[in-house]
Structure 1
Amino acid sequence: MNLSLHRTIPLAGALLLAVQGAWASPDASEIAKLGNELTCMGAEQAGNADGSIPAFSGKWLGTPPGIQFDGVGARHADPYAGEKPLYTITAQNMNEHLARLSDGQQALLRKYPDSFAIPVYPSHRDFRYEEFRCEQTRRNVGFAELEDGNMGVRAYKAGTPFPLPKNGDELLRNMLLPAYAHQEDAVYDQAVVYSDGNTAWGRLRMEILDQTSGDKDIGKLTHGIFAYSLTTILKPERQKGEVMLAHTYFNEKKNPQTAWMYNPGTRRVRQSPGFGFDMPLGVGGFRTIDDDRLFNGSPERYDWKLVGKRELYIPYNGYRLESDQVKYADLLKVGSIDPAFMRYEAHRVWVLEATLKPGYRHQYAKRVLYIDEDTWLAVMADNYDAHGQLWRTNFMNTFYAYGAKLFHSGVTVYHDLISGAYLADRLTQEIEAPRINGDRLQPYMYTTEMLRQSGR
């Protein structure tokens, strides 16, 4: 405090301030920030100094004016379709933009100077969440707490657990428990594009039932099962019909993630011990189980550090990429997906660093995750090998799903910088769009008995 100013406060006023300070609740002061200097979910309301990041408007809830949306299972029209890039970052001009590029983006620009680029569009912060999410977030301030050595969390469902995170473990929980769709019922294509131009194809059916924001979940405490999932392999042909059933819990110490596998050849269901972590999933083995949405599952193998905030160019409002007018042959190029279909915007992100604990094993010795402040979704990840070399760099496109009134995971790309290949995941451009927040999925569908009876 400025001492000269402090001395000008009259004694009575100073005593009053002291009394008020003694009775003031830190939790109350934090709650007061939500909806004022912070959004109700914990992001900074204000824009940045140079205006490239706008102030949060939150002017749209659901479908924007002038946009037609036909409900669950429909495509999402681009509300910014008329915009053009402000500029494009390439290997030739990247040095002018290094402060806003992640290590992974810099590596991709250097490795693929002729095919990778970052088209930068005007930034938008126009969509907001429903009030019930704001209410539960406010309830979590001063109430939410980490449990069992940071392996679990006690919080009110449907809200951000720690809208003002104070350490890496709290930030991690926000990333693991953002505003997810209650139901995700979708078929996704996968394509591994090798450096010689050959492509290997996969196709998965994913049926995910989230237990945080269904009508019966809102405001209840986080305990028991966090999410059910069924993953059915449709391609390649040699694996067709294999099914993985998984139960994920809010507390990984009390209830480690469990999974069962159905094999159509033996027609048997077997439990999968040690499920998760760096087990490969999908065609080519280019991503791990815990790479889904850039990180998921148990945090136990890493020490988590909140590095701070940065302003970066990140994939955002990726509507063009989700369009059924996009053809795989045009999108999937050697080195990277065609940047003409990508949209990057300047946004603030939280930086979360994970370092492998002594005595634990994982393919990645260090991970750096970049988490969008407005959505708490990880949008980029840099993964390092045991020698400290940047090995894989991944990015996830997101778009606001109008019917679900939240941001949803779109096309996700996993780049292997050593082999020169990449996996493009969550492709739907040439098949049906995902059904987000439908009503077909029910908990009884996620039992081993149902798995046996399905004959999948």
Structure 2
Amino acid sequence: MKKHMNTWLALGLASIVATAAAQAPNLKSGTLTPMGAERAGNKDGTIPAWDGKAVDTKPGADNKRPDPYASEKPLLSINAASAAQHADKLTDGTRALLAKWPGMRIDVYPSHRSAVFSPAIYDAVAANAARAKLANGGLTVEGAYGGIPFPAPKNGHEALWNHMLSYRGQLTTFIADKYVMTAGGDRVLTNRQRTNLAYPYYDPKGKPDGFSGEWARARLDVTEPPANAGQALMTIDYVDNYSKPKDGWQYVPGQRRVRKSPSLVYDTPDASAAGLANFDDVNLFIGAQDRYEVKLLGKKEMYIPYNNNGLFRKPVNAVIGKGTLNPDAVRWELHRVWVLEATLANGKRNVAAKRRLYLDEDTWQAVLADTWDAQGKLWKTGQAFTLLAGDEPSASTLSYTWYDLLSGGWVYAAAINETGGVSYQDYDAKQLSKFTSSALASGGVR
């Protein structure tokens, strides 16, 4: 594996240098897409060229978006017996899952580069290419607004900021479930929550000058199970991880008060995930980067979960299988991804001593992740599933899983299978009144 990683690094760095030198003229009409991905397909024709055409996914009466590729059949299936033949396109964690669970399988479908965004976002990305920069050792983004900041990243922190600041809507609302599964096959609904997300960074009326530095606010109101109903969380994320990694508040009905909660960051275990995922595991990684040195290993063709509208439309009984998600429910495709490796910085602490993240080139969002513990053992592997909303247009990861490869337990989070679809609204600064500590208290159940 080390030999493969060194090859990725050498090829990747050469590609990065060449891309960075040509990024400005290429973003609109050259070799790169407006988001900095390669326009062309691959040599084998198994990855198509990006054509910039949005796919029709108008929601139905249930507010769920259809699966535009529902009629397609898998091109191939990969299981434990055939994994070695495809090892160069599988992550360490994916191969470990295939080896651990006999029923685990990857069904690979035709690839579709369906991720399309609005012209306003493309314009912002082009502007960011000329004005965005990092400060404080990569922990602070300056000069960026309204789009990913570094369409041709030169280092790991730039690419990781692209993931963090990728487009997930302006005001996004959905109700989601969290399920915890034991190694023995038991399933528990630990949390149902109303999720409201606001992204000031994508306010179309805003500009880099005068931007508050808050890139996201999240409010989570728990409605089930009854023992936890009424609990609420609120967080604020910033583009300056150097001076302000994250703010968080928590409302607990029994205490009838809102408390500032600095524990909603880093590797604090998420109680509703039974310790299988931490707060910085949301979307495979979220929060401050100050615990890690981040390297950009380059770009690689990999099999990744993609275009999973069909997954979200299935009932949860058809989705959760023995040891993993039901392979019949998950669509995998071949795509190019940026590979990042984050290792603990000197003097820093996190239970994840090393992380490897795989960012889809068309959305810049992490779709796969592997985590190693302090003893160097491959510990957890994560998968994130992309919701295609061509009607917006957007494409972004929503539900995600984390598998504990040592204990066999796993969590399926942000699941909308039983709760409806996702609502996207235009940004309205007045809506931020819902994202305050006082609003958290008034909305809680006593």
Partner residue in 2 for 1:377: 365
- State which of 346, 349, 356 in structure 1 corresponds to 2:337: 349
Shift of 1:413: 1.0
Partner residue in 2 for 1:3: none
| Aligned positions, number | 423
Whole-Å separation in 2 of the counterparts to 1:195 and 1:230: 31
Cα distance 1:180–1:328, how it changes in 2: closer, same or farther (>3 A)?
closer
Secondary structure (helix, strand or coil) at the match of 1:171 reads helix
Shift of 1:40: 0.9
| Structure 1: 4+ residue segments shifted above 6 A | 438-441
In the alignment, is the contact (CA less than 8 A) between 1:309 and 1:349 conserved in 2?
yes
In the alignment, is the contact (CA less than 8 A) between 1:141 and 1:161 conserved in 2?
yes
Partner residue in 2 for 1:332: 320
- State which of 99, 104, 111 in structure 2 corresponds to 1:123: 111
What CA deviation, in whole Å up to 9, does each residue of 1:204-228 have, x standing for no partner? 2211111122332366665421111
RMSD: 2.0
Partner residue in 2 for 1:195: 183
In the alignment, is the contact (CA less than 8 A) between 2:115 and 2:362 conserved in 1?
no
Q: Pairwise mapping of residues 7-406 of structure 1 onto structure 2 (< 5 A)?
A: 29-35=22-28, 36-60=30-54, 63-64=55-56, 68-70=58-60, 74-113=63-102, 115-201=103-189, 202-217=191-206, 222-281=211-270, 282-323=272-313, 326-406=314-394
Secondary structure (helix, strand or coil) at the match of 1:305 reads strand
What CA deviation, in whole Å up to 9, does each residue of 1:113-144 have, x standing for no partner? 2x211000000114422111111111112311
- One-letter amino acid matched to 2:121: R
Whole-Å separation in 1 of the counterparts to 2:82 and 2:21: 47
TM-score, normalising length from structure 1?
0.88
Cα distance 1:280–1:274, how it changes in 2: closer, same or farther (>3 A)?
closer
Shift of 1:451: 2.0
Secondary structure (helix, strand or coil) at the match of 2:104 reads coil
What CA deviation, in whole Å up to 9, does each residue of 1:239-260 have, x standing for no partner? 2211112121111223331111
Cα distance 1:266–1:406, how it changes in 2: closer, same or farther (>3 A)?
same
Whole-Å separation in 1 of the counterparts to 2:93 and 2:47: 22
Partner residue in 2 for 1:6: none
- One-letter amino acid matched to 1:422: W
Percent sequence identity over aligned pairs: 36
Q: Pairwise mapping of residues 434-453 of structure 1 onto structure 2 (< 5 A)?
A: 434-437=422-425, 442-453=431-442
Partner residue in 2 for 1:18: none
Shift of 1:377: 0.6
- One-letter amino acid matched to 1:204: Q
Shift of 1:96: 1.1
- One-letter amino acid matched to 1:48: N
- One-letter amino acid matched to 2:302: L
Shift of 1:235: 3.0
In the alignment, is the contact (CA less than 8 A) between 2:318 and 2:329 conserved in 1?
no
Structure 1: unaligned runs, 5 residues or longer: 1-25
What CA deviation, in whole Å up to 9, does each residue of 1:97-127 have, x standing for no partner? 11100111110010012x2110000001144
Cα distance 1:232–1:280, how it changes in 2: closer, same or farther (>3 A)?
farther
Whole-Å separation in 1 of the counterparts to 2:251 and 2:399: 27
What CA deviation, in whole Å up to 9, does each residue of 1:44-81 have, x standing for no partner? 11111211111111222xx52xx65359x721111111
In the alignment, is the contact (CA less than 8 A) between 1:180 and 1:213 conserved in 2?
no
In the alignment, is the contact (CA less than 8 A) between 1:157 and 1:220 conserved in 2?
no
Cα distance 1:305–1:28, how it changes in 2: closer, same or farther (>3 A)?
closer
Whole-Å separation in 2 of the counterparts to 1:117 and 1:361: 35
In the alignment, is the contact (CA less than 8 A) between 1:153 and 1:222 conserved in 2?
no
- One-letter amino acid matched to 1:179: Y
Secondary structure (helix, strand or coil) at the match of 1:310 reads strand
Whole-Å separation in 2 of the counterparts to 1:219 and 1:28: 24
- One-letter amino acid matched to 1:242: Q
In the alignment, is the contact (CA less than 8 A) between 2:231 and 2:444 conserved in 1?
no
Secondary structure (helix, strand or coil) at the match of 2:227 reads helix
